[in-house]
Amino acid sequence: MRIAIATLGCKLNFAESSSIAQQFVRNGFTEVSPYSKGVDVCVVNTCTVTEHSDKKCRNIIRRIHKLNPGALIAVTGCYATLKKAEIEALDGVSLVLEQDKKGSIYPLCMEMLEGSPCSDAIAEHIFPACSYGERTRSFLKVQDGCNYFCTYCAIPYARGRSRSVPVETLVSQAQEIAGKGVKEIVLTGVNIGDYDGGLLKVLKALDGVSGIERYRISSIEPNLLTEEMIDWIASGTKFQPHFHIPLQSGCDKTLERMHRRYDTDLFASRIDYIRSRMGDVFFGIDVIAGFPGETDSEFSSTLSFIRKISPAFLHIFPYSRRKGTLADKMEGQVPESVKTQRVKALEQLSDELHQQYCSRYVGSVQKVLFEGRVKGSLMGGYTGNYIRVERPYDASSIGKIVEVVI
Residues that bind ligand SF4 (CB under 6 A): 146, 148-150, 153, 155-156, 190-191, 221
Q: Which residues, in sequence order, are CB contacts of 246 under 8 Å at separation 6+?
A: 219, 221, 222, 285, 286
Q: Closest distance between ligand SF4 and the C-beta of residue 305, in Å?
A: 19
Nearer to ligand SF4, 54 or 371 (CB): 54
Q: Which residues, in sequence order, are CB contacts of 370 under 8 Å at separation 6+?
A: 136, 379, 380, 381, 397, 398, 399, 400, 402
The answer to whether 78 and 154 are in contact (CB under 8 A) is: yes
> Rounded to an integer, what distance in angstroms lies between the CA atom of residue 358 and that of residue 376?
24
Q: Closest distance between ligand SF4 and the C-beta of residue 149, in Å?
A: 5
Helix (H) or strand (E) holding 188: strand 184-188
Nearer to ligand SF4, 23 or 143 (CB): 143
Nearer to ligand SF4, 74 or 153 (CB): 153
> Rounded to an integer, what distance in angstroms lies between the CA atom of residue 212 and that of residue 183?
5
Q: Closest distance between ligand SF4 and the C-beta of residue 109, in Å?
A: 28
Nearer to ligand SF4, 49 or 60 (CB): 49
Nearer to ligand SF4, 136 or 264 (CB): 264
Nearer to ligand SF4, 144 or 184 (CB): 144
The answer to whether 7 and 42 are in contact (CB under 8 A) is: no
Nearer to ligand SF4, 148 or 232 (CB): 148
Single-letter residue type at 353: L
Q: Closest distance between ligand SF4 and the C-beta of residue 82, in Å?
A: 13
Q: Closest distance between ligand SF4 and the C-beta of residue 288, in Å?
A: 9
Closest CA to 188 of 211, 209, 159: 159
Nearer to ligand SF4, 129 or 255 (CB): 255
> Rounded to an integer, what distance in angstroms lies between the CA atom of residue 336 and that of residue 341?
9
Q: Closest distance between ligand SF4 and the C-beta of residue 27, in Å?
A: 33
Nearer to ligand SF4, 193 or 241 (CB): 193
Q: Closest distance between ligand SF4 and the C-beta of residue 146, in Å?
A: 3
CA dihedral 79, 188, 292, 350 (to 10 degrees): -120
Q: What is the DSSP letter of 335?
A: P
Closest CA to 18 of 218, 246, 188: 188
Q: Closest distance between ligand SF4 and the C-beta of residue 139, in Å?
A: 17
Q: What are phi and psi of 282, to 5 degrees?
A: -85, 120
The answer to whether 245 and 285 are in contact (CB under 8 A) is: yes
> Rounded to an integer, what distance in angstroms lies between the CA atom of residue 177 and that of residue 213?
12
Q: What is the DSSP letter of 382?
A: E
Parallel, antiparallel, or unpaired: how do β-strands 41-46 and 30-32 relate?
Answer: unpaired
Q: Closest distance between ligand SF4 and the C-beta of residue 12, in Å?
A: 10
Q: What is the DSSP letter of 327?
A: G
Count the neighbouring beta carbons within 10 Å of the beta carbon of residue 277.
16
